[in-house]
């Protein structure tokens, strides 16, 4: 996989994560909800992981609810709020460049009678907070805007969205799948009420993520999965100890060094004609590049036969330009010459 430069789509599990997870796969496989010692040990290990994740974002361990990943966390945050307003419905503010799991959750809610405003970005991919403020209505029940765009790497001014939401007493949710561990997050300073994160973007396992929920024990979220009361009753299902321990280990061992391949790329790319999309406040490891011509793109990939993404991995199967690229004003021709090259994640703080 030394040609793999699609780390924004997924990362491998690191050695540290694998070592941390292994004992919980076989030696102690107890259901953490049981009452014997093996279950207590598993619960302790889960609690330790919860503390590491909470610490990373300035939250309390009791405010972390484990899910299967950011898609589920986003669905729980958005539908969980909406299902609490099924009688009168209500209005939700999001953007046109969210991940498809947010956009599809919102369009599902539209079929139930909820109203959604999709704020468009400027040509740099930045969501302007003045537009978010302008979109607020009497019946707005939620603002949900991602932190870092998965296709562009653009860092959104979420502290401004948080402040606006706080001022209007509207819950603010952010999809931090691309930012968690990579940029500084403090849920109090940024007025974040809910935050989605995912394990497989940070060298953790696939199939695990979490939703931070402010004061989760008193949350008014309606669960999507009813079960045996796990996760304060907000997400039923036997807690997957190995995956949760793996997520905790991923947070603890998150790397800080830029890869040598990225350092070389940053020099080599200057020999090509291209535009880097996404404005000036960018995650260093995500490069969204429009080459000046098909020929220029071919020249780059003839030398660098890399596995990269056109649009996002989720769009790769449809042959249409991604909704993010069209939202920032690229035409079909430009989108065809546009690639997301994403390097191994490292701490960008």
Ligand X SMILES: Cc1ncc(COP(=O)(O)O)c(C=O)c1O
Which of 45, 57, 101, 164 touches ligand X (CB under 6 A)?
101
Q: Is 204 in the site for ligand X (CB under 6 A)?
A: no
**Active site includes 106?**
no
> From the CB of 87, what's the least distance to ligand X, in Å?
29
Residues 6+ positions from 220 with CB-CB distance below 8 Å: 81, 84
Q: Is 105 in the site for ligand X (CB under 6 A)?
A: no
| Identity of the residue, 127 or 177, whose beta carbon is nearer to ligand X in the bound complex | 177
How many whole angstroms separate alpha carbon 63 and alpha carbon 271?
Answer: 48
Q: Which range in 56-64, 129-137, 170-178, 224-232 contacts ligand X by CB under 6 A?
A: 170-178
Residues 6+ positions from 21 with CB-CB distance below 8 Å: 13, 205, 242, 243, 245, 246, 249
Cα separation of the two ends of the chain:
27
Indicate the length of the chain as a whole number.
349
> From the CB of 209, what's the least distance to ligand X, in Å?
5
Which of 79, 85, 91, 146 touches ligand X (CB under 6 A)?
146
Whether the CB-CB separation of 61 and 50 falls below 8 Å is answered with yes
> From the CB of 309, what's the least distance to ligand X, in Å?
10
Residues within window 261-320 making contact with ligand X, judged by CB under 6 A:
none
> From the CB of 202, what's the least distance to ligand X, in Å?
11
> How many positions of this chain bind ligand X (CB under 6 A)?
12
| Strand ranges, E, within 75-176 | 91-95, 115-119, 140-144, 172-175
The 60-99 site mask, x for binding ligand X (CB under 6 A), equals: ---------xxx---------------------------x
How many whole angstroms separate alpha carbon 157 and alpha carbon 148?
Answer: 9
Whether the CB-CB separation of 249 and 21 falls below 8 Å is answered with yes
Q: Which range in 56-64, 76-84, 172-180, 238-246 contacts ligand X by CB under 6 A?
A: 172-180
Q: Is 209 in the site for ligand X (CB under 6 A)?
A: yes
Residue, CB closest to ligand X: 69
How many whole angstroms separate alpha carbon 333 and alpha carbon 337?
Answer: 7
CA distances in angstroms from 332 to 272, 323, 329, listed in the order given: 21, 11, 10
How many whole angstroms separate alpha carbon 173 and alpha carbon 143?
Answer: 6
The binding site for ligand X (CB under 6 A) comprises 69-71, 99, 101, 146, 150, 175, 177-178, 198, 209
Tell me which residues are annotated as active site: 314
């Amino acid at each position: 996989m030394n040609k793999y430069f699609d780390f924004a789509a997924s990362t491998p599990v690191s050695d540290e994560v694998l070592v941390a997870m292994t004992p919980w796969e076989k030696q102690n496989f107890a259901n953490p909800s049981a009452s014997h010692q093996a279950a207590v040990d598993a619960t302790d290990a889960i609690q330790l992981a919860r503390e590491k994740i909470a610490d990373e974002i300035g939250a309390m361990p009791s405010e972390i609810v484990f899910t299967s990943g950011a898609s589920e966390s986003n669905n729980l945050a958005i539908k969980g709020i909406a299902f609490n307003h099924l009688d009168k419905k209500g209005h939700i503010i999001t953007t046109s460049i969210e991940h498809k799991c947010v956009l599809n959750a919102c369009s599902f809610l539209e079929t139930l009678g909820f109203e959604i405003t999709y704020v468009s970005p400027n040509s740099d991919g930045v969501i302007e907070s003045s537009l978010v403020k302008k979109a607020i209505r009497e019946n707005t029940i939620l603002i949900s805007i991602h932190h870092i765009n998965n296709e562009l790497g653009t860092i959104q001014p979420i502290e401004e969205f948080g402040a606006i939401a706080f001022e209007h007493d509207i819950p603010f949710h952010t999809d931090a799948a691309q930012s968690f561990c990579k940029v500084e997050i403090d849920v109090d300073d940024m007025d974040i009420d809910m935050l989605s994160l995912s394990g497989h973007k940070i060298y953790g396992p696939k199939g695990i993520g979490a939703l931070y929920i402010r004061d989760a024990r008193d949350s008014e979220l309606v669960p999507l999965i009813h079960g045996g009361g796990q996760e304060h009753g907000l997400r039923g299902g036997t807690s997957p100890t190995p995956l949760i321990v793996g997520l905790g280990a991923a947070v603890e061992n998150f790397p800080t060094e830029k890869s040598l391949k990225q350092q070389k790329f940053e020099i080599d790319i200057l020999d090509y004609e291209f535009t880097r999309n996404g404005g000036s406040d960018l995650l260093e490891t995500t490069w969204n590049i429009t080459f000046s011509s098909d020929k220029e793109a071919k020249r780059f990939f003839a030398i660098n036969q890399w596995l990269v993404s056109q649009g996002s991995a989720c769009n790769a199967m449809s042959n249409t330009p991604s909704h993010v690229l069209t939202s920032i004003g690229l035409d079909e021709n430009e989108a065809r010459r546009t690639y997301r090259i994403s390097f191994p994640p490292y701490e960008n703080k």
